[in-house]
Structure 1
Amino acid sequence: MSRALKIVFLVVSVWLGFNAGAQTTANRELVVFTDRDYCISGDTLWVKIYVPNELQQYGNIVRLQLESQTGNLIASRAVKCNNTHTEGYIAVPDSLQTGLYFVHAFFNAQRNNGLLKCIGRSVYVYNRFDERIDRLPVVENKTSVIIPESAGSQIDINLEDPDYHRRDEVKGNINTGDNEFVFMVASARIIEPFSHENTGFMNFGMKDQNVGIPEFPEKDGVLISGRLSDKETGDASTELVLLTVTGNETYFDYYYPDSTGQFHFFLPDAMGSANLILQALAEEDTLFDIELTPNFMSAVQQLKFDSTFVNPKQSEIIENTIKGTFFNKLFRGVSISHNDAFEMSNPYGIPFYGIPDNHIVPELFIDLPSFKEISRELLIGFQYRERKDQLTFRMLNYGQDRFFDAEPLRLINGIPVFKNSFFQDLKSTDIASIDLVKSERVFGDLRFTGILAVSLNDKSNSWLAQQPNLFQLKVPCIEFPKQPNYRPNAKSKTQPDTRSQFLNSVIEPAGSWPFSFQLSDVKGDLEIKVEAITKSGKLYRTSKIISVQ
């Protein structure tokens, strides 16, 4: 992180502290809505989050989390707000054991707010390999459970037909009329009795699990934090850390860690999963370790738990639900597939080192067998010198009409390189382009005596494995927008359809909202539900339950 970002961080922190004192404490909580009360391990849990106007000063990136009852972070996502709400999903690990879990959210800039609260949700996860479930945990201290007020007199759920059978189409409308609701979610699902009875909204007091992360407001980007330490002693190190994002040769940043070894980087407009290259620099041959710090706020510290028996009927329904999920995946596939897509715009508009003095495309010239030949034939103002076993590079300084005494910053695919031997065997057919900067360039408080930037045709960066103190890390950034698919499979007429979720939509707080969905082969009680929140932060709920025969 450059010095400018630190200054901005301090200014914004002071501003946020002033404004926080001027705000009232009413209705300053994120509210989490889930599309179901339970998941089978390997499922995708879809989430909607209400963001009050009072919280939008903290940025537009919400941290969404799934936490175990023992306080372990299971999964997290960074999602971007859209006006008063945001949507996202959590891919529930396939190996996650049966138990009670919690979904909650926060803004990074809230983490040192003192009493940080969130209205989250509890959900059960049933491991798909469990043959029979006899006991399950429940929340003991009911004061944390929020029971929404009835909205039966304000919200009407009307159906065209009172009776339904498997694979019927359900049609109706939701009338909200005039009210004080600011956010509403409509959902429909087959009831699993145990989770339906024992889950719901939870009033969480959040606790910071990583005090080293600053309360930086994430706006159109994500904050990445970590710690640098001496590999041999484990002591914190303050040596310079360089950051490169592969797949974006124009992005570069650096940070001097504090006395505890903590460093922080902000990735603007980074979408998807980023491949980060972190390098620790030191004059000696010291080896370092770099460990990223999970951005985690725990919400279960104040909760106490008990366990209760699952009656035979409930256990049978859970067992059938697990089997149904297996068939659903077999015939529909997984709803979220693994995706390594990554997008990040260039915040500078040009390469971070500025406009190059020369841009060379080797394929426009005769093929050359080594970088030595390339430098002699194509790189004007660049010296390639071999003395005994030592290879040195020098760049011409146009301003002084002489060569710099120190070596230039050397880049391969945008990644700093400190061993010239990596360039020796490069042929012109290996290289897409070469940039030369023949002047002193300044980036923050770093000074470069010229730039040699080589872009290879091969972007796999396999050569990185030979570099010491270099760490390749895959980091999830802002989640790409995705929508759940509750519709039946196109081939469902000839294949079993075991869907249990049919609807989960944000609806307008006033007026009439029509809905329709097709039922599956699953029989049981179907709940059509509307959950709403008012300007004052009160939760309301109304539902209609029908029997599917």
Structure 2
Amino acid sequence: MWKIKHKIIFVILVLTGLITNLNAQVMSYLSNEQVALFTDRTIYVINEEILFSCNLIHNEKSTFGDFSNVLYVELVTPNGESVISEKFKLINSYCSGKITIPDNILTGYYYLKAYTKVMRNNGPNSYHYTRFKIINPYKNDLVSYNPSQTVSESIDAKDDSLLLISTDKRVYSNREKVSVSIKCESGEFKNKCISISVIPEFSFNAINIKALPTIEISSDELYNLENKGISITGKIIDEETGLKLPNIKINLSIIGSNRDFMATVSDSLGNFVFVLPDLYGQNSIFISCQKKPDINPKIMVLNDFCTSKNSMETPSFKLTEEERKLVYKIAVNKEIKSIFQDTSRINKPFKTYDNVFYGKPTRTLYPDSYIDLPTIEDCFIELPFNVRIIKVKDEKYFKITGGKSEFLIYEPLILVDMVAITDYKKVLSISPKKISHIDIITAPYVKGNMIYGGIISIFSKNGDYGGINLPESGIFLNYNFFSENSNSINGDYISINKPDIRNTLLWLPNLVLSNNNTSEFDFFTSDSDGRYVILVRAIKNNGETVTQSEHFEVQ
């Protein structure tokens, strides 16, 4: 009997240890990060830009040892439907940006949802939400949702003892300079930074959406900390059996002017991760994997944005009389601005990087410089080049020569228009007449955690992969990389020949206080009369947000 008892106790202790270890693993994925986000206003019309600044709040003693540098921002409906989604680069846990409101949405309440990838392990209730009123003056319909009778909300703390705002006058004329001084009497703000917005009265409502964090974590979808850039995660499964496939080589190619290549191997659970370079705008990505006998691999890429539709407690939509007058003025100003818009700033091209990832090749072959050869194999046989085609058991392979022992161990990386091709028959079928040039790297090449016996990079004349079919297991993605961070609206004087109809007079997303905790700045009023608000917001070192305001009038 005592042996049975000891066995039971032993099993209980083992299970307890396993459960404790599992809990520790799960807790290691939970995020202690929080997003604090400020916007210039909380009432807009379609086609306007929502300007925001964001600080990532975290425990400085975090066991992660580092923090996220990718912020995900979405404009969503009260039902959680995403309207627009963008990514922004966090530098020192801070970024500022803008979201352009689409012109096809309906009037109603909307939310700006912000989070990091690791915060997805805590569930959508841990994200930051800012609520807006957005008006489409051309449509009478309202966005559809079920209004809540009771809504859990809070108002930012307003403490006159922390922030003092003073102006040189109370009443100004149109296009007159306004001088402002700010002093922090007590308390310390994060990075000694504050956010400044000068906006029409009634265009801001200091309401925060409060929700208790919930844990929605699954062992199948654990999101890692993104501290080195945007990451693509996914898994490889057998399409017929649904089983996860470990130790499968996956290739990723970025196509176009930002061309790049990387490779990795799926882990024991079939999962894979790619950390992408810091590119901007939309780029085409091709992901493929090696094919093994008796296996039909399928690539499954996880959505880079949160797909959980978290319905928000939202009141019935209505505008006060003051807001109606304000919206009319904002809409008129927006129409006038569109007529005088400086088109040189529209559709500014994103940053591009034209160089290939491997740099300057050892040699470059231009087939058109030689006599016509029927096949690409003939090019390597007849022309003086460090590439040989070898045959093993009726299969042909590429090998780079050069006397290095690594060439005997590792296969070369074969690229066609920057896409990795592992089916050598397809490569050998390309006509030399379709090839612009071939780059050769005659040295072992390390890319990530992969080692290659050199590189053979083929570029077609028309960018059509030489007419061959890409790997069947591959998938194309029109992938959104970073959106450009935006800076301030400085409130400078606008030429008298143009109407000054700014709806936001000034936006300083990250104004740094001086050593004596003060700051001074100037801006000009516009052509619009009325009462305006100087809105100052800051984040205390304990993570709390503070809001202070001062009014002035333009006549």
Q: What is the TM-score with the length of structure 2 in the denominator?
A: 0.75
Residue 472 (structure 1) shift? 2.2
Alpha carbons of structure 1 residues 486 and 201: separation in structure 2 relative to 1, 3 Å: farther
- Tell me what 1:5 maps to: none
Partner of 2:231: 223
Query: Hey, what's the Cα distance between the residues in 2 that align with 1:400 and 1:377?
Result: 21
- Relative to structure 1, the CA distance from residue 224 to residue 400 in structure 2 (aligned partners, 3 Å threshold; closer, same or farther) is closer
Q: Kindly indicate which of the two structures has a greater share of residues assigned to strand.
A: 1
The answer to whether the aligner puts 1:186 opposite 2:196 as a matched pair is yes
Counterpart for residue 59 of structure 1: 67
What does residue 341 of structure 2 align with? Answer: 332
Q: Which amino acid aligns with 2:164?
A: D
Deviates more, 1:117-126 or 1:280-289: 280-289
Per the alignment, in what secondary structure is the counterpart of residue 217 of structure 1? Answer: coil
Residue 81 of structure 1: CA displacement? 2.9
Match of 2:171 in 1: 163
Alignment map for 1:28-39 (pairs within 5 Å): 29-39=34-44
User: What is the rounded CA distance, in whole Å, between the counterparts of 2:545 and 2:329 in structure 1?
Assistant: 32
The amino acid that maps onto 1:413 is D
Find the aligned partners of 1:181 and 1:544 in 2 and give their Cα distance. 19
Q: Secondary structure at the match of 2:315?
A: strand
Secondary structure at the residue paired with 1:150? coil
Residue number in structure 2 paired with 1:203: 210
Change in CA separation of 1:140 and 1:532 when aligned onto 2, cut-off 3 Å: farther
- Residue in 1 that maps onto 2:117: 108
Amino acid at match of 2:554: V
Picking from 242, 247, 262, the partner of 1:252 is 262
Letter in 2 for 1:295: F
CA displacement at 1:252 relative to structure 2: 1.5
Deviation at 1:126, TM superposition (A): 2.0
Matched residue SS, 1:221 = coil
Contact 2:108 2:143 in 1 (8 A): no
Query: What is the letter of the counterpart of residue 296 of structure 1?
Result: C
Could you tell me how far apart the structure 1 residues matched to 2:434 and 2:440 are?
16
Is the 8 Å Cα contact of residues 273 and 476 (structure 1) preserved in structure 2?
yes
Q: What letter is aligned with 1:517?
A: F
SS in 1 for 2:383: helix
1:527 alignment counterpart: 533
- Give the aligned partner of residue 80 of structure 1: 89
Q: Distance in 1 between matches of 2:209 and 2:507?
A: 20
Residues 405 and 513 (structure 1 numbering): CA distance in 2 closer, same or farther, change over 3 Å? closer
Change (3 A) 1:499 1:464: farther
**Identity fraction in percent:** 16
Cα distance in 2 for partners of 1:255, 1:524 equals 62
* Change beyond 3 A, Cα 1:420–1:202: same
Alignment partner of 1:499 is 2:505 = no
Q: Does 1:89 align with 2:60?
A: no
- Cα displacement (A) at 1:364: 10
State the partner residue of 1:476: 480
1:450, distance to aligned residue in structure 2 (A)? 6.9
- Corresponding residue pairs, total: 513
| Conservation of the 8 A alpha-carbon contact between 2:119 and 2:127 | no
Which stretch shows the higher mean deviation, 527-536 or 49-58?
A: 49-58
Change (3 A) 1:234 1:381: closer
Q: Give 1:528 deviation, angstroms.
A: 0.6
2:518 maps to which residue? 512
Residues 204, 460 of structure 1: CA spacing in aligned structure 2 closer, same or farther, 3 A cutoff? farther
The answer on 1:174 being equivalent to 2:182 is yes
Structure 1 residues 251-400: aligned runs within 5 Å: 251-256=261-266, 263-282=272-291, 283=293, 290-296=300-306, 300-301=310-311, 303-311=312-320, 314-333=323-342, 337=347, 339-343=349-353, 350=358, 359-362=363-366, 366=370, 368=372, 371-375=376-380, 376-383=382-389, 392-395=396-399
> Counterpart of 1:293 in structure 2: which amino acid?
N
- 3-state DSSP of counterpart to 1:214: coil
Q: Post-superposition shift, 1:47? A: 1.4
Q: Structure 1 CA distance, aligned partners of 2:493 and 2:459?
A: 45
- Give the match's secondary structure for 1:186: strand
Aligned mates of 1:462, 1:40 — CA distance in 2 = 49
Give the residue type in structure 1 aligned to 2:38. F
Displacement of 1:35 after TM fit? 1.4
RMSD: 4.6
Q: 1:382 to 1:223 in 2, by over 3 A?
A: same
Contact 2:430 2:468 in 1 (8 A): no
Indicate if the aligned counterparts of 1:498 and 1:522 stay in contact, CA closer than 8 A.
Answer: yes
Which residue identity lines up with residue 496 of structure 1 in the other structure?
A: P
Deviation at 1:446, TM superposition (A): 7.0
Residues 101-149 of structure 1 deviation map (CA, whole Å, 9 limit, x = unaligned): 2224333233335797355421222235336879999775443x23122
Question: Where does structure 1 lack aligned partners over 5 or more consecutive residues?
Answer: 1-12
CA-to-aligned-CA distance 1:191-216 (integer Å, 9 cap, x gap): 3x3x634x632234466889554331
Q: Which amino acid aligns with 2:207?
A: G
Question: Are residue 243 (structure 1) and residue 252 (structure 2) matched?
Answer: yes
Deviation at 1:527, TM superposition (A): 0.8
* CA drift at 1:501: 0.6
Q: Is the 8 A contact 1:274 1:476 kept in 2?
A: yes
Query: Within 1, Cα distance between the matches of 2:318 and 2:258?
Result: 54
Distance in 2 of aligned mates of 1:135 and 1:406: 59
Segments of structure 2 that go 5 or more residues without pairing to the other structure are: 1-22
Q: Quickly say closer, same or farther: Cα 1:399–1:51, change in 2 above 3 A.
A: same
* Superimposed CA distance per residue, residues 353-397 of structure 1 (whole angstroms, 9 cap, x where no aligned partner): xx98x6234389546555355322233442399xxxx99554366
User: What's the CA shift for 1:316?
Assistant: 4.2
Say if 1:210 and 1:295, in contact at 8 Å, map to a contact too.
Answer: no
What does the per-residue CA deviation read over 1:266-290, in whole Å, with 9 as the maximum and x for residues that have no partner?
2244454442111144357959575
CA shift in 2, pair 1:500/1:463, >3 Å? farther
TM-score by length of 1: 0.76
Q: Structure 2 vs 1, CA of residues 412 and 51 (structure 1 numbering), >3 Å: closer, same or farther?
A: same
